[in-house]
Amino acid sequence: MIEEVKASVNTANATGQHYLVHSIRHLTDSAYVLRFDRNQMDFIPGQHLSVGLANDPQAREYSIYSSVNDDFLEILIKEVDEGIVSKKLKKVKPGQALRVTGPMGFFKLNMGSIASDPHLLIATGTGISPFHAFVKSYPELNYQLIHGVRYGQEAYEKDHYADQRYILCTSRDDKGHFKGRTTDYLRKFQPQANTRVYLCGNCDMIFEAYDILTDKGIPTENIHTEVYF
Ligand SMILES: Cc1cc2nc3c(=O)[nH]c(=O)nc-3n(C[C@H](O)[C@H](O)[C@H](O)COP(=O)(O)OP(=O)(O)OC[C@H]3O[C@@H](n4cnc5c(N)ncnc54)[C@H](O)[C@@H]3O)c2cc1C
């Protein structure tokens, strides 16, 4: 079976190379981390890939979750009700081939100041993925991470972040540090004026957070966004 899959690697098509799956790590009933070959891919933390099953025309964008120091690639996916690709990828098995295109995107840190300037990383749901890549790739990063989810169990691999740097906002239970949405938390929070802000996840949060932050005096050029849907 694996031999057959390996044969397909050599016939990877022009629209995306084939990469073999190593493992799938289920974090909740719907969220999972897919690990697969890196094939020496160079990427900048914050970039994303287009991923689908080999020989399937459907693919979707996924931020890279793993570090530049890992010899594999990982993506964090939430299975969407009525979704197509997020459901198919949840069923893959080790040894199966994926079609991967990329890396792509400009959602990245300004490397000159990652240890000195404060960084405010704000995510909803799987929008935490590029921030995981930032934190794992750059241990010197001076950051505060605000993660918004519905329930405490969606605090994906929270032990990968330093306790004092991680704030969990839960809108539907009280298992986080703050009960409410990330934007409710932000309204009560005063960032330093030189903070570099990164927003990732659903567009409602991003638009609302953008307005709150600019009202609090963060220059627009310090705010970076990655919209998932
Ligand atoms: C640059 C970029 C990076 C992305 N990175 C990630 C990532 O790291 N992890 C990840 O899980 N997704 C990520 N996404 C979203 C992903 O590309 C797909 O949209 C998602 O997996 C749904 O695909 P689907 O084929 O299952 O559903 P589709 O059939 O394409 O969509 C079904 C519906 O679900 C909505 N939807 C999409 N994502 C979500 C969500 N998370 N929650 C609720 N509704 C949603 C869509 O707007 C659509 O209305 C990213 C999107 C972009 C543009």
Q: Which residues contact 189 (CB under 8 A, 6 or more apart)?
A: none
Determine the distance separating the centroid of ligand 1 and the alpha carbon of 87, expressed in angstroms.
11
Total Cβ atoms within 10 A of residue 204? 13
Atom index in ligand 1 nearest the CA of residue 107 equals 1
> Contact 201/183 with Cβ under 8 angstroms?
no
Distance (Å, whole) CA 22 – CA 2: 11
Query: In the chain, what are the helix, strand and coil shares in percent, each to the nearest 5?
Result: 25, 35, 40
pLDDT, tens digit, 9 for 90 and up, residues 65-109? 999 999 999 999 999 999 999 999 999 999 999 999 999 999 999
Question: What's the chain's average pLDDT?
Answer: 93
User: Pocket of ligand 1, candidates 129, 156, 227, 229: which has the most ligand atoms within 8 Å of its Cβ, to mutate?
Assistant: 229
- Give the CATH number of domain 2-104: 2.40.30.10
Domain borders along the chain are 2-104, 111-227
Query: Residue 14: its pLDDT value, please?
Result: 38
Does 180 sit in the ligand 1 pocket, CB within 6 Å?
no
Atom index in ligand 1 nearest the CA of residue 104 equals 1
pLDDT for the residue 47: 98
pLDDT tens, residue by residue, 170-203? 999 999 999 999 999 999 999 998 999 999 999 9
The pLDDT tens digits for 122-157 are: 999 999 999 999 999 999 999 999 999 999 999 999
Query: Using CA atoms in the order 76, 78, 82, 86, what is the torsion angle rounded to 10 degrees?
Result: 20
| Ligand 1, atom nearest to 77 Cα | 11
CATH architecture of 111-227: 3-Layer(aba) Sandwich (3.40)
Give the integer Cα–Cα distance in Å for 62 and 51: 7
Query: Would you say the pTM of this structure is higher than 0.85?
Result: yes
Asked whether the beta carbons of 48 and 63 are under 8 A apart, the reply is: yes
User: How many angstroms is it from 192 CA to the middle of ligand 1?
Assistant: 32
**pLDDT value at position 17?**
75
- Whether 79 is in the pocket of ligand 1, judged by its Cβ within 6 Å, is no
